[in-house]
A = this chain, B = another copy of it.
Amino acid sequence: MGTSLGGTHRLHFTEVGPRDGLQNLDLDLQTETKLALVERLLDADIDLIEATSMVSPRWVPKMADAEQLLSALVAARGHGVLRRLRVLVPNQRGLERALATGAVHVVANIGATESFNHANLRQGVEETLVELARMAELARAQGCTFDVGISCSFGCPFEGRVAPDRVAELADRLADLGVSEIGIADTIGVADPRQVSSLIEHLARSGVGAEQLALHLHDTRGMGLANALAAYESGILRFEGSVGGIGGCPFAPRATGNVCSEDLLHMLVRVGAETDVDLEGLCQAATYLEEVLDRPLPGRLYRAGIWEGPSSPA
């Protein structure tokens, strides 16, 4: 065990609970509750927090308070807080809204398949690539980093298993656009550890190395942490997750959500990774969210507690 890479094993972790997690919950939260959650995540020293989405309120009413949430965060923490936040921008209009708030990190998505891209963005993949090129340029001109996640990198609810060649082709084209970080997303939670390792090797062979990739995993079928372990062993250091494992999957009504942030980071630290994230603080944020939502969350660690043992050297 332990990645075969030399040098540092320092993780870069992006918390997506306030966006992906809350978006897929069956209830809505008040803006002040979202604010309190993000504040707890900031206090836990998370590297980057995907705070909200500049999607049209007609599509996702839950994210209608995007600007309001960001200004509340700036009011509470000062302008510098924007360096620790990322905003999802589904299109050029969303990017313009994000830039107007002063955002310096944004992320967009593209579907690995035509069907998913049509369902999610109402356009073809080539059309999305053209728009992403324009968006990348606009973001760069404003000094804003531009990440892109490839949805359904392992499987698509409409087209089944996705060929690694397809993901590699898209990743290559995104790299050519100068994208900061390319997200490999298991949107519907169907990847297994072997597929994860194999896709990462495939991408490396076609020129997109592990250092440019982030893994976005869902725990839909319980393999989230095992997949993360396989990714880490393949050299991935950038991960996403949601506090408490909140969220869901629009294609599997009773399924659990994103891989749980604190469970994931706790495991990676145990196998040798380094992080500045305060795991205890992250567990407290999960406990807060459990109280707010009034239900146990899928995450394990915040309930069981970090174990050190009565006389453990650790």
A interface vs B, CB < 8 Å?
1-2, 155-161, 188-190, 192-195, 197-198, 219-223, 225-226, 228-230, 249, 252, 254-256, 260, 263-264, 266-267, 270-272, 296, 299-301, 303-314
How far does the alpha carbon of A272 sit from the alpha carbon of B195 in the complex, in Å? Answer: 11
Q: Are A221 and B252 in contact (CB under 8 A)?
A: no
Contact of A229 among B195, B226, B300, B312 (CB under 8 A): B226
Given A220-B304, A221-B306, A225-B226, 10 further pairs, Cβ under 8 A: A1-B194, A1-B230, A161-B312, A188-B307, A189-B304, A221-B263, A221-B304, A225-B225, A254-B303, A255-B303
Q: Are A222 and B301 in contact (CB under 8 A)?
A: yes
How far does the alpha carbon of A271 sit from the alpha carbon of B304 in the complex, in Å? Answer: 29
Q: How many copies does the complex hold?
A: 2
What residues on B are CB-neighbors of A296 within 8 Å? 254
| A270-B305 contact in complex given A223-B263, A311-B159, C-beta closer than 8 Å | no
Q: In this complex, which of A264, A267, A272, A306 has the most chain B Cβ atoms within 10 angstroms of its Cβ?
A: A267
8 A-B residue contacts at CB 8 Å?
A158-B310, A160-B308, A221-B304, A222-B300, A226-B229, A229-B229, A255-B300, A255-B303
Q: Are B221 and A309 in contact (CB under 8 A)?
A: no
What residues on B are CB-neighbors of A159 within 8 Å? 309-311
